[in-house]
Structure 1
Amino acid sequence: MSTATTSQPVDVRENIIATGQRIMAGKGFSAVGLNEILTGAGVPKGSFYHYFGSKDAFGEALLDSYFDDYLAEIDATLAQPGLTMAQRLMNYWQAWQQAQSFFDCQGKCLAVKLAAEVADLSEAMRLALKRGTSGIVTRLARAIEAGVAEGSLSIDDDADSTAHSLYQLWLGASVMVKIGRTMEPFETALSTTRRILHLPPD
C-alpha cells in the first residue's frame, strides 16, 4: 500500500505530461488550454498547480520529458547489435520518417510541431528545445565518428558539422512534409543523407 501511495504523485504528473504531449502534438501549444489537458488527464486544476507553477513551466517539463524519451530511443537505435554504425544511422532516419509523418504522430513529433511556435513565446521552453536538440546532434556526431572509424561511412566535413547539417536537413524535411502532405521531402532527405555519408543508393 505504501508503494502505491509513493508512486501516485509521479503517476499524476506523468499522466498530465503525457496527455499534454498528445494533445499539443496535434493542436500546438497556444491553442490548447489547461482545462482541455486536465479534462483529458482526468485530474482537477489544483493538481496541475501542485506540479507546475504555470503553463510555461508545464511546457518546459513537457519538452524535457519528451526529449528524455527521445534520446533514450536514439541510444537504443545507435546501439543495435550486429549492425554497422552506418546501418544504425540509416535505421534512425527511417524511424524519424515514420514518427514525423503528417498523419497522427501520437506526440512523437512534438519538437517539430512546437519548435517555431514556443521558441518565441517562452525562454524556458526555447532552452528546453535547445538542450534536447543539442543532445540529438551530439549523439549523431558520435555515431558518425564511430562510423568513420569502423569504415562503414565517410564524410567530407568534421562529424559535428555533418551532424548539425543532417539534423537541420531532416527538421526542414519534416516541416515540408506537413506543408505538402506528401512524403517526398523525406525521400529527398534520405538520398541526400546517403550522399553526405558516402553510402550507396538504397
Structure 2
Amino acid sequence: MNLSPKAQATRQHILDTGYRLVLQKGFAALGLQEILKACAVPKGSFYHYFSSKEAFGCELLQQYVDDYGRKLELLLAEGGNGQQRLMRYWDAWARDPADPAQGWAEECLVVKLAAEVADLSEDMRRVLDDGVQRLLQRIAALVEEGRTDGSLPAGKAALDVARVLYQMWLGAALLSKLSQDRLPLRQAREATEHLLTCGNTAARLSPPND
C-alpha cells in the first residue's frame, strides 16, 4: 500500500491506539466504534487502511511480533555469554530494562490473545503462531550458544528446552496477571535457572517427540 507520510502516520496512529485498547479489553470485546472514537477517525478512513476488523487485527499482530523481535535483538546486543543473554531476556518479562515499573509480560499479546484468536480467526492465529515459532527458534539458538561457550551444560534438544521454558513463562505471566503479583514470574526465573544449569533435568522436563 503506497501511502503519503500523513496517511502512513494516520494508519500507524490507528494501530498504536488499537494496541493499547486490545491490551485492555481483548480483541472480540473491542468494538470498531470504540477504536474509531479513540483514534478520532471516521469509519471511512478506517476502511481505507484496513479491509475489515480482522485485517486490522492481523496487521496489529504482525507489527507486534516484528517489533518484539527487534526489541529482543536490542536487548541481546548488550553482550554476555549465552546463559547471561538468555536470562536477560527472561528478566525482561518481569522488569523491562527501559521501564522497570513494568515487564514485557504485562504488554504481551500472546498472553492476552492466544486463546481468543485461536478460536476467533485463523489468519490472526497464524500470525501470532508464526511469531511464537520465530521466538522459540531464537531462544533455542541462545541455548545452543550457551552450550557452545560453556555457560550451559549439554542436554535435551535446544528447541525442546526452549518450548518448555516458554510454556512455563506464559503460565507464570497468566498467574501474575490474575494475582496482580510478580511472584509467579520470580518463581519461573528460579525454575529456569535450575532447568538450564542441570542438563539431566532439562532432558526429563522437555516434551516427548511426536
Give the TM-score normalised by structure 2.
0.85
- Verify the 8 A CA contact 2:92 2:104 in the aligned structure 1: no
Q: Which residue of 1 aligns with 2:57?
A: 59
Shift >6 Å, 4+ stretches: 103-107
Aligned length: 192
Q: 1:60 to 1:135 in 2, by over 3 A?
A: same
- Verify the 8 A CA contact 1:28 1:113 in the aligned structure 2: yes
Q: Which residue of 2 aligns with 1:92?
A: 89
Q: How does 1:149-160 map to 2 (within 5 A)?
A: 149-160=148-159
CA RMSD of aligned residues (A): 2.1
Q: Which residue of 1 aligns with 2:107?
A: 108
**Residues 78-116 of structure 1: per-residue CA shift (max 9 Å, x gap):** 2223x12211111111111236xxx79798222211111
Q: 1:77 to 1:185 in 2, by over 3 A?
A: same
**Residues 113-157 of structure 1: per-residue CA shift (max 9 Å, x gap):** 111111101001110111111111111111111111011112421
| Structure 1: gaps of 5 or more residues | none
- Verify the 8 A CA contact 1:23 1:107 in the aligned structure 2: no
Deviation at 1:77, TM superposition (A): 1.7
Match of 1:77 among 75, 78, 94: 75
Q: 1:133 to 1:106 in 2, by over 3 A?
A: closer
**Residues 47-71 of structure 1: per-residue CA shift (max 9 Å, x gap):** 1111111111111111000011001
Q: How does 1:1-202 map to 2 (within 5 A)?
A: 6-81=4-79, 83-98=80-95, 108-198=107-197
Deviation at 1:37, TM superposition (A): 1.2
Distance in 2 between residues matched to 1:10 and 1:162, nearest whole Å: 41
